[in-house]
């Protein structure tokens, strides 16, 4: 018995030893594979399976009222795994004829049904795992194709492989194209697409893919391992109607003047919201070939010319150096600073003029002489530059897109910045400084906004399926850029430019607007003022309506070569067209009827000779709170105005006697006359002014004609 027991124990120990030995061997192999040969096998595994990124659906970009400015349109690539492990031979044979018919009829009509059947059979025999069926399939087409015989068995049973892709579409094409921007692999991110890429792009998912040979990858299963999170939507401040108006006017002007490029920006005065931002440039030299190729409004820091003159004028006013009624010698539009000649752009022949008049005429000589006299003493230039910095002209706006060019304002007396004796007078007329159109507009917008500077912005909300998840509120950059009296005088100067100055041809009697023209010479030193070589930059910047500004706007057009070069001729009409459109279509441009003082009623404004039922007339008089005195004793009454009141007098309507129906409406006149048995013939509209039978005649079933006007 003991021998049997010992034998069993030996056998147990033997099995245990064998298990331990196998465990040690397995552990050794695991260590070898994971550590010693880990990199090798991982590389081998990577060649067989990998995770492929599943791109999330990109969010939409919307206008202020929800119109689509940019959206992602899905399209699909369809392939077939003819040797899928889940595909049964019986299913393939039973469905091959029907599938070939569907593919030849609805997908590839250049192939016959028999040809497609042979193709599928041959590809299956050759071991095809990733046969291309069709590219760029729409969602509607996909819904039809996935119901085809065999395909309706899915990825494994039917070998149906779908690869989802998407392309960015802009329903309004060129409209705000550069501002909307783009995100492309290997290229710089542009516009809103680039600035808000993380919000729009969402979070990518992952899908496990298997290499089936020849570097062909197919999904391991038809489920995504990690689902992507779709991107958010951007609600912009862009108004599509204003954007289209700005772009259309800009295109027309660039073609008419054969200019190189131009930009126009419309901003909400109170908030800084950008309602339109158009940038149009030439793709080729010939006219008509235009597109939004670059955001000049944000990315071009240029010498602005005369539109910059408002800043030095405000600096002079802020420091109390000048009064608008002071006199200045314009020297007939020509003077010299350190042997450098300065001229006014248009001859005027004036010597003495007020400061106000010098600004209205945009006199280079007048502005430069005032700045030189006010800030030209030792240390004065430092104060001048400090004033420009006070107006934030040395800082970018911080707009919500990439690529804003920084402005350039020289430091006083800095030789490294090429400060010289002529820098101060030339800066005062918009040269030797660099600023973008948007930065200059932000300054003018602050003037329109009574000195409060707002940060321009393009996006008001981030949304998920219409629900706001983040809101961007208007941001104040600076509460007061200048003294209130300085702002008030600056406004009066800009209004004077339109009423009496360089922009007077743009004035309209429909509404008042204020602004400044500008005509800058481009690289004027390079050509040493040889007129034949000079290029110009025409601009106009201002706001409207002048009394209670709603919008500010800047238009800048570079190198006009035909039909004028000046700001009032080239850029001004674009500004007017935009302002006219706003005035005609935007309710906020108009004052409410009840915002005016209530006028005192006079007799010619009171209702006169209106005839009707006394009770109805009295009800209306009470309802509209018109002062009146009731003297009517009959059921019918006629209104008689007397100074600032109305008297209700009797109008007799007697049985069997034709009454006086003049002043009645058609309904009342016909009612009264037909009740007397008369046949009524009425012509015209309005109130009765003629009746063919005299009042007081006895009614005997006659025919009576009445005329209304």
Q: How far apart are the C-alpha atoms of 8 and 1, rounded to whole Å?
A: 11
Q: Which residues pair with 282 in a beta bridge?
A: 290
| Band (168; pLDDT cuts 50, 70, 90) | confident
Place of tokens 């001859």: 347
Place of tokens 């061997």: 25
Q: Which of 187-196, 234-243, 311-320 has the lowest mean pLDDT?
A: 187-196
pLDDT reported for residue 470: 95
Cβ–Cβ under 8 Å, residues 483 and 472: no
pLDDT reported for residue 51: 67
The answer on pLDDT for 605 being more than 60 is no
Q: Can you give 151-163 as a three-state secondary structure string?
A: HHHHHHHHCEEEE
pLDDT reported for residue 475: 97
- The tokens describing 75, both together, are 């399209």
DSSP per-residue string spanning 417-451: GT--TTHHHHHHTT-S-BB-HHHHHHHHHHHHTTT
pLDDT reported for residue 671: 84
Among 379, 458, 371, smallest CA distance to 413 is for 379
Dmax of the chain from CA atoms? 154
| Band (37; pLDDT cuts 50, 70, 90) | low
pLDDT reported for residue 604: 45
**Run of H or E including 28:** helix 2-31
Q: How far apart are the C-alpha atoms of 705 and 709, rounded to whole Å?
A: 14
DSSP per-residue string spanning 167-209: EEE-TTTTTTHHHH-B--TTS--BHHHHHTHHHHH-B-EEEEE
The answer on pLDDT for 277 being more than 90 is yes
- The tokens describing 57, both together, are 């659906």
Whether omega for the bond prior to residue 545 falls within 30 degrees of 0, making it cis, is: yes
- The tokens describing 567, both together, are 């700001």
Give the global pTM.
0.72
Q: How many CA atoms lie within 13 A of 506 on its CB side?
A: 32
Of residues 3 and 299, more confidently modeled: 299
The answer on pLDDT for 262 being more than 80 is yes
Q: How far apart are the C-alpha atoms of 84 and 363, rounded to whole Å?
A: 82
- The tokens describing 694, both together, are 């005299």
Q: Which of 10-19, 85-94, 659-668 has the lowest mean pLDDT?
A: 10-19
Q: How far apart are the C-alpha atoms of 555 and 431, rounded to whole Å?
A: 18
Of residues 609 and 62, more confidently modeled: 62
Among 131, 115, 243, smallest CA distance to 178 is for 243
| Band (601; pLDDT cuts 50, 70, 90) | very low
Q: Where are the alpha helices (DSSP H) in 395-533?
A: 423-428, 437-448, 484-500
> What is the three-class DSSP state of 462?
strand
pLDDT reported for residue 567: 96
Q: What is the DSSP letter of 618?
A: H
Among 438, 147, 405, smallest CA distance to 301 is for 405
């Amino acid at each position: 018995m003991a021998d049997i027991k010992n034998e069993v124990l030996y056998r147990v120990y033997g099995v245990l030893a064998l298990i331990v030995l196998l465990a040690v061997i397995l552990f050794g192999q695991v260590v070898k594979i994971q550590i010693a040969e880990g990199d090798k096998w991982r590389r081998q595994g990577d060649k067989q399976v990998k995770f492929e990124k599943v791109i999330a659906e990109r969010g939409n970009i919307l206008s202020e009222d929800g119109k689509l400015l940019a959206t992602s349109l899905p399209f699909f690539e369809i392939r077939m795994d003819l040797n899928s492990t889940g595909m049964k031979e019986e299913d393939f044979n039973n469905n091959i004829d029907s599938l070939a018919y569907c593919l030849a009829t609805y997908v590839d009509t250049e192939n016959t049904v028999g040809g497609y059947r042979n193709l599928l059979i041959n590809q299956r025999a050759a071991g095809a795992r990733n046969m291309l069926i069709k590219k760029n399939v729409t969602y509607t087409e996909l819904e039809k194709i996935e119901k085809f015989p065999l395909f309706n068995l899915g990825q494994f049973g039917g070998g149906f492989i779908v690869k989802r892709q998407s392309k960015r579409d802009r329903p309004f094409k060129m409209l705000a194209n550069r501002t909307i921007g783009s995100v492309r692999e290997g290229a710089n991110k542009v516009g809103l697409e680039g600035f808000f890429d993380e919000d729009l792009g969402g979070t990518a998912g992952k899908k496990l893919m298997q290499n089936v040979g020849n570097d062909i990858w197919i999904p391991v299963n038809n489920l995504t391992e990690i689902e992507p999170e779709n991107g958010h939507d951007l609600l912009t401040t862009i108004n599509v109607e204003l954007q289209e108006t700005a772009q259309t006017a800009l295109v027309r002007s660039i073609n008419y003047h054969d200019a190189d490029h131009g930009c126009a920006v419309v901003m909400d005065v109170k908030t800084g919201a950008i309602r339109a931002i158009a940038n149009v440039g030439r793709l080729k030299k010939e006219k008509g070939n235009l597109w939004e190729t670059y955001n000049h409004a944000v990315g071009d820091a240029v010498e602005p010319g005369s539109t910059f003159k408002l800043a030095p004028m405000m600096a002079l006013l802020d420091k109390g150096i000048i009064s608008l009624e002071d006199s200045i010698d314009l020297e007939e539009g020509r003077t010299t600073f350190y042997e450098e000649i300065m001229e006014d752009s248009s001859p005027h022949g004036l010597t003495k003029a007020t400061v106000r008049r010098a600004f209205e005429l945009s006199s280079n000589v007048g502005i430069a002489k005032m700045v030189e006299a006010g800030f030209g003493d030792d240390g004065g230039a430092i104060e001048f530059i400090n004033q420009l910095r006070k107006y934030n002209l040395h800082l970018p706006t911080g707009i919500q897109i990439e690529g804003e060019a920084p402005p350039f304002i020289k430091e006083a007396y800095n030789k490294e910045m090429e400060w010289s004796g002529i820098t101060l007078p030339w800066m005062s007329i918009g040269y030797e400084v660099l600023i973008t159109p948007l930065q200059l507009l932000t300054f003018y917008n602050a003037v329109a906004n009574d000195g409060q500077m707002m940060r321009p912005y393009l996006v008001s909300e981030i949304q998920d399926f219409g629900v706001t998840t983040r809101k961007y509120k208007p941001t104040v950059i600076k509460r007061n850029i200048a003294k209130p009296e300085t702002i008030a005088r600056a406004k009066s100067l800009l209004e004077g430019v339109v009423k009496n100055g360089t922009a007077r041809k743009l004035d309209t009697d429909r509404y008042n607007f204020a602004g400044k023209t500008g005509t800058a010479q481009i690289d004027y030193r390079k050509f040493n003022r040889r007129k034949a070589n000079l290029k110009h930059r025409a601009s106009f910047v201002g706001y409207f309506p002048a009394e209670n500004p709603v919008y500010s706007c800047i238009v800048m057009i570079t190198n006009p070569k035909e039909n004028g070069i000046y700001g009032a001729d080239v850029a001004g009409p674009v500004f007017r067209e935009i302002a006219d459109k706003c005035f005609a279509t935007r309710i906020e441009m108009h004052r409410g009827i009840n915002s005016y003082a209530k006028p005192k009623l006079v007799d010619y404004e009171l209702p006169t000779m209106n005839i009707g039922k006394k009770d109805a007339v009295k009800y209306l008089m009470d309802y509209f709170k018109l002062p009146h005195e009731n003297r009517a004793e009959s059921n019918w009454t006629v209104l008689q105005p007397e100074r600032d009141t109305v008297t209700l007098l009797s109008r007799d309507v007697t049985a069997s006697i034709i009454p006086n129906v003049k002043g009645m409406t058609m309904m009342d006149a016909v009612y009264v006359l037909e009740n007397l048995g008369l046949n009524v013939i009425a012509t015209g509209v309005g109130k009765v002014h003629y009746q063919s039978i005299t009042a007081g005649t006895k009614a005997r079933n006659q025919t009576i004609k009445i005329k209304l006007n």
